Amino acid sequence: MSVNITFLGGADTVTGSKYLVEHNRHRLLVDCGLFQGYKQLRLRNWAPLPVVPSQIDAVVLTHAHLDHSGYIPLLVKEGYRRTIHATSGTFDLCKVLLPDSGHIQEEDAAFANRHSFSKHAPALPLYTRQDALDSLSSFHAEHMGVWFEPIPGWKARYQSAGHILGAASLLLEVGGRRILFSGDLGRPDDPLMNPPEPPPQADTVLIESTYGNRQHPPGKLFAELGPLLHKLAKRGGVAVVPVFAVGRAQAVLHTIAQLKAAGELPRSLPIFLDSPMAIHTTALFEKHMGEHRLDRAEVHAMDRVATMLETPDQSKSLATRHGPMVILAASGMATGGRVLHHLAQYAGDHRNMIILTGYQAPGTRGERLASGQSSIRIHGQDVTVRAEVAQIESASAHADGAQVLDWLHKMPSAPGQVYVVHGERDASDMLRQRIEHEIKWRAVVPEHGSVWPA
Ligand SMILES: [Zn+2]
């Protein structure tokens, strides 16, 4: 009996990761992510899956980022009743991320209805906060490095991938095949996370290619962020920093704490973390000591460097303050969340700054800002951008092309097949070429919806 993989997401794009593995009439879904970015991608979230959710036997997540986990509440709402396997770090983060995702979708739908700019009346959320809370009871936490059986006769094992808390690569043994899903791979030199563990031997590898066509500059976050914030403090401006609540927010906070301790930034420069989700994630660094690079003193310094804004009223009160100040808010690609209000408020003043941290998917506001567009649309209004826009490349939580190749090359011998996934077309194809030319392995870039042998 053959083993097949259907690429239901995370193929041709960085978002929507969903890989359906089928063998002997059993089905396992690796990752269950939301599509983000271009509208034609987001519309895929609304189309029914080609497989009926109640006919999937198990779901296994590599990590908690929404482009890998954000479809879970919908899958459960549509009839999935089995277990969702995840590392305990991923489970902890999903408890925060998924209800927040439901909440944002409810808010966006309500906002569209209030201002009636939706073409659909009334606009509906993809799922609600309650749907997300309901889905959490299906989770089961697994240990890193310990085999588990998601389906009788199928074996699976996690190993650390760096990237964010709980993030893992997944080795799956089924039907005599060993399939390795890289998940999102962190950088070996990440300021917060440990380097990814080297890959075990596998027959087939699914490798991510987010930055397959790029090379990270050697500059550290410290060296890039310091001069920018110093300049901002001198001219009394406001920096709006869209952050991924999980990972990047903590990397930026940790760096600001280091900059202040080193005297590179005035200790009096006010820093605000305006994201309940990021606040909860920051607290998880203390619970999961050993999964990251920080010691207890550094975790506490990261925690104390910013004023934490939990409630919407605290968030709104920022509008009455004057610069200089630094506001970190989600989401990281400015696709939603509290950062939109701050962008609308501060983007129009040339003394201010918008600092982008990490990957900006095509079609997102973050990508439009990064490409220098002078106007962005927020909540149905055009907002003129006069603020200085900076992009911090070293804030990426992904390995670049060379680092991914280095990781792959640690596999004891060549796998039979490599599928290059989780990248835009150019990035995936560039990584495919490098794999074929530099390490001489067979590699293909599967199309969205295609089926391949494992
Ligand atoms: Zn990720």
pLDDT of residue 225: 94
pTM here is: 0.88
**pLDDT, tens only, 184-213:** 999 998 889 999 999 999 999 999 999 888
Nearest-angstrom CA–CA distance, 314 and 325: 15
> For each of the chain's 454 residues, which pLDDT tens digit applies?
799 999 999 998 999 999 999 999 999 999 999 998 888 888 899 999 999 999 999 999 999 999 999 999 999 999 999 999 999 999 999 999 999 999 989 988 888 788 766 566 688 999 999 999 999 999 999 999 999 999 999 999 999 999 999 999 999 999 999 999 999 999 998 889 999 999 999 999 999 999 888 887 665 888 899 999 999 999 999 999 999 888 889 999 999 999 999 999 999 999 999 999 899 999 999 999 988 999 999 999 999 999 999 999 999 999 999 999 999 999 899 988 899 999 999 999 999 999 999 889 889 999 999 999 999 999 889 999 999 999 987 777 889 999 999 999 999 999 999 999 999 999 999 999 999 999 999 999 999 999 999 9
Q: How far is the CA of 62 from the centre of ligand 1 (A)?
A: 9
CA of 163 to the centre of ligand 1 (A): 7
Write the secondary structure of 88-122 as one string of H (helix), E (strand) and C (coil): HHHHHHHHHHHHHHHHHHHHHHHHHHHCCCCCCCC
* 8 C-alpha to ligand 1 centroid (Å): 17
Phi, psi (degrees; rounded to nearest 5) at 25:
60, 15
Give the Å distance between the CA of 332 and the centre of ligand 1.
Answer: 12
Ligand 1: centre distance to CA 170 (Å): 14
346 alpha carbon to ligand 1 midpoint, in Å? 28
How open is the CA angle 94-66-314, to the nearest 5 degrees?
75
- What is the Å distance from ligand 1's center to 237 Cα? 31
Ligand 1 center–CA 316 separation, angstroms: 29
Measure 398 CA to ligand 1 centroid, in angstroms: 8
Query: Phi and psi for 357 in degrees, rounded to 5?
Result: -125, 105
- pLDDT of 12 reads 86
Residue 65 C-alpha to ligand 1 middle, in angstroms?
A: 5
What distance in angstroms lies between residue 185's CA and the mean position of ligand 1's atoms? 8
Q: Which residues contact 83 (CB under 8 A, 6 or more apart)?
A: 58, 59, 138, 139, 140, 150
pLDDT of residue 221: 86
How far is Cα 53 from Cα 77, in angstroms, rounded to an integer?
Answer: 9
- CA 183 to ligand 1 centroid distance, Å: 8
Distance 442 CA to ligand 1 centre (A): 25
Question: What is the reported pLDDT for 337?
Answer: 86
Give the Å distance between the CA of 132 and the centre of ligand 1.
Answer: 19
CB 400 within 8 A of CB 187: yes
| Closest-CA residue to 308 (of 280, 337, 266) | 280
Tokens 């996934």 identify what position?
A: 421
Q: How far is CA 34 from the centre of its chain?
A: 11
Ligand 1: centre distance to CA 180 (Å): 17
- Tell me the CA distances in angstroms from 394 to 214, 217, 258, 298, 313, one per residue in order: 12, 7, 16, 20, 33
Residue 173 CA, ligand 1 centroid: distance in Å: 23
Q: How many Å lie between the centroid of ligand 1 and the Cα of residue 187? A: 12
